[in-house]
Chains A and B, each alone.
Chain A
């Protein structure tokens, strides 16, 4: 397993989602992402556990893109990944953003 942590922002304050949001499932080529409010000094933090090693830069690029688009402060996203492609990662994050009301 590879464990990666990324932080983005800080972003300006805005109303926080009340409840946690979960999208996707842990299945071959898929992932689950759990999005929760957390005191992060305005930052957006992503913690990834992946069964596939060596894609740190790809994660950083895809997640950074997402973070700069939604600009959600104090959000913790925890990801369990079973080998999702960047396209699937993007799809799941877009789903999460929609459910968080930030799409």
Chain B
């Protein structure tokens, strides 16, 4: 087993992210809650439809969790997969644990269940708000190999907090989709450096889209999430007004920027070209005082 979060399976992540021995799954593999749609397409089902859901403790505090399996259909959201996420969030709204931790790793809608996947994501989005308005903080961890794309990218930004690694990516449209629609001149999806500086964790942290940027280690990710437990952020007229101001400022400051490097430079990063080479620790030290915030 590799030491990092990035290459672990959903169940390995859950076992190592939360307190040892504290994990209790809901609708686990033995329940065989599988996709009703894949067999007709000749595709194998998974016993958990690609998402582990349940409760655990984190630093001793009760939390609910969902963890998307990166290998199963790229973590994509089908009808059952989505309903499990919605269920966890609605259960949190009802029971009020200290937080919900979503270990997201997905390309978005599972195209093999297209319309049902899209509706499922809309329901997840609503359920995130239900949990938040019940006072339960919802923390999204975007540190997986598929990134956090499509409608789930929007869902993640509807959560209280986002924790990322450099390797994690957060966007609505992925590089391949943009390239397919607009051509390689618009986005060369094979240019990994371009992908990371446009959608990766460091850029998202500098822009204020992510709240924390840590290295690809379980302990680092845990430590980033723990302070957010028990502290729900308001979702009210004042909070959306403040966000509106910040997002307007972002458009005004960076709306004409041709590249992320120009944004970093405008933020006051002394040597933007060196940003991808920085280890997470020194990067955050450099970036924290300079970065934009979406909430202030």
A contacts, CB < 8 Å to B: 1, 20, 22, 25-28, 30, 32, 34, 36, 49-51, 78, 80-82
Contact = CB atoms under 8 A, between A and B. Distances in A.
Most buried by B among A22, A28, A30, A78: A22
A25 B42 contact: no
Interface stretch (B43-51, B159-167, B178-186): B43-51
B44 A80 contact: yes
A82 B29 contact: no
Contacts of A51: 42-44
Contacts of A30: 71
Interface of B: 9-11, 28-30, 39, 42-47, 50, 69, 71-72
Contact of A26 (B28, B30, B39, B45): B45
Contacts of B71: 25-28, 30
A22 B29 contact: yes
Given A1-B39, A22-B11, A32 B46 contact: yes
A27 B69 CA distance: 10
Contacts of B45: 26, 49, 80
B44 A26 contact: yes
B42 A20 contact: no
A25 B45 CA distance: 10
Given A27-B71, A81-B44, 19 more contacts: A20-B28, A20-B29, A20-B30, A22-B11, A22-B29, A25-B72, A26-B46, A26-B50, A26-B71, A27-B72, A32-B47, A49-B45, A50-B44, A51-B42, A51-B43, A51-B44, A78-B47, A80-B46, A82-B44
